Amino acid sequence: MRMQASHDLARERRRAGDGYDQDMEMTLAQMKADFESEWILIGAPKTDEALNIRGGTLLHHSKDRDEVYRKAISLRPARAAVLYTGAIPEGTAIVL
C-alpha cells in the first residue's frame, strides 16, 4: 500500500510539473504507465523466479537511450537494469 501511495503522489507531482522522486520504488507496470515509450534506468531491480523484472528503484528516465546510459555510468549503481517501455517497431534488429 505504501508503494501505491508513493506512486500516486509522484504521478500528481509529475502532472503538476513539479517533477518526482527519482529514488522512488515502483513496480514495472507503474513505470510503464508513467513513462510510456521511454528508456528507464532501474536500480536494485526486483525480479521473479525467472529473473523477469517486476520493479525496483526508478533512477532515471528519458526518450533518449544514450542519456539513460550516461546517467547509469555517472551513478554507477551496484545493480541496475535499463528497459524500453514502448513497443519495438517491426523490422528492428536487436543485438544482445
Q: Is the pLDDT of residue 81 over 90?
A: yes
pLDDT band at 95 (very low <50, low <70, confident <90, very high): confident
- The predicted pLDDT at position 66 comes to 95
Of residues 65 and 93, more confidence is placed in: 65
Q: What residue spans define the domains of the chain?
A: 2-84
Q: Give the residue-averaged pLDDT of 33-50.
A: 95
Contact between residue 63 and residue 37 where contact means Cβ atoms under 8 Å apart: yes
Rg over alpha carbons for the chain, rounded to the nearest Å, is 14
